Structures are given as C-alpha cells and as structure tokens.
Amino acid sequence: MGMLCLGIVGRGDLPVGNFINTNPYHDEKAKNRRNILRIAGQEVGIRESAHNTGPRVSEYLNYVGFKQAAPWCAGFVSWCHKEVGLPAPRSAWSPALFPPARLARDGLPGMVIGIYFPSLGRIGHVGLIERVQGSFIFSIEGNTNIAGGREGDGVMRKVRHKRTIAKYADWL
C-alpha cells in the first residue's frame, strides 16, 4: 500500500471543485465584499445636481448626519456599508475611516482606500477597492471626477497606482 502524502496548500493554491470552506466568518466576509461592490457598482453614474447636492448625494450625507451640502466621498463609502447591513463606518470625515484597528497592509476588494493630500496634511478622499491588478487599484469613488479629484461631481470608477494610496482600511 502506498503512502499518503499531503502538500502544504497556500492561499493562492486552494483546491478547485468540491472544496467547502467551513469558516463562517470567512464566508460572511466574502459575502459582504461581494455585496458592497454590487451596491457601489449600482451607484456608478450618480451625479450631483449642484455642488455637493442632489437627491442621492443627500442620502449619503444624511446617513452620516449632514443635512446640508458637504464633501461626500466618506458619506458614500459609509452609506455603502450601511446598505450591506454594517453599522460602521459612519462618518463624513475621510480620516475617520482609518482607525488603527482597521488598517491593512495591502488592499483587497471591498476595502476602503485613503488618498493623502499634502495641501491638507491628511487623507482628503476615500473610495472602495473594486479589484487589484498588479500595481493598480480599480476603485469606485463618490465625489470624484474624471481627473480623480476630491471635489468632483459623481460616483465613478477610477484606476489608481498603488503608490498613490496612503492607507487601506478593512471594515468588513
């Protein structure tokens, strides 16, 4: 009778087929990742009707406690998490989405990205990672524009080089 030899399976080498993941935390997190990206993707194309205002923009801002026009990228990210059923993050302040307990070394789909602005001396814009491809982050961001600015006019898909990302946060 031959010997049974088991190899070590790495993260990228998971078996294909009838493999069943028995970790319910992992399953829930994967489900949340898929759902948040589905929700954010459905918002792509939403535009302001005037500077930092509009029916949908107001929903994002109302969720984080703002009744008047204000920058809304963090409100958009927070609203997407709420739509998945997660109570946090819930802030209109971009830096608040990066507490030490939520920081990650590298980005994965569904995580929050933070863009640092030297003129502000802080993170001044956030978005959600849709996918990572090599050195590039494909994201969905609110209150941005074609140039990738922090004071844009809509929800858009963006492509950013990893070196332009100051921080990653995992709220899932």
CATH at residue 69: 3.90.1720
Residue 17 in any domain: the answer is no
For residue 55, cis peptide bond before it (omega within 30 degrees of 0): no
Look at residue 23 in the predicted model and tell me its pLDDT: 55
pLDDT in tens, 83-106: 999 999 999 999 999 999 999 999
The model carries a pTM of 0.84
State how many domains the chain has: 1
Residue 59, C-beta contacts closer than 8 angstroms, at least 6 positions apart: 79
Range of the structural domain that residue 145 is part of: 28-169
* Residue 135 in domain: yes
| 60 belongs to a structural domain | yes
Instruction: Tell me the one-letter amino acid at 100.
Output: P
pLDDT tens for 114-152 read 999 999 999 999 999 999 999 999 999 999 998 877 789
* Alpha carbons 35 and 42: distance in angstroms, whole number: 11
Q: Does the residue 4 lie in any domain?
A: no
**Residue 164 is assigned to a structural domain of this protein:** yes
5 within a domain of the structure (yes/no):
no
| Residue 98: inside a domain | yes
Cα dihedral 58→159→107→9 (10° resolution): 130
Residue 21 lies inside a defined structural domain of this protein: no
**pLDDT > 70 fraction of the chain, expressed in percent and rounded:** 85
pLDDT digits over 153-169, tens only? 999 999 999 999 999 99
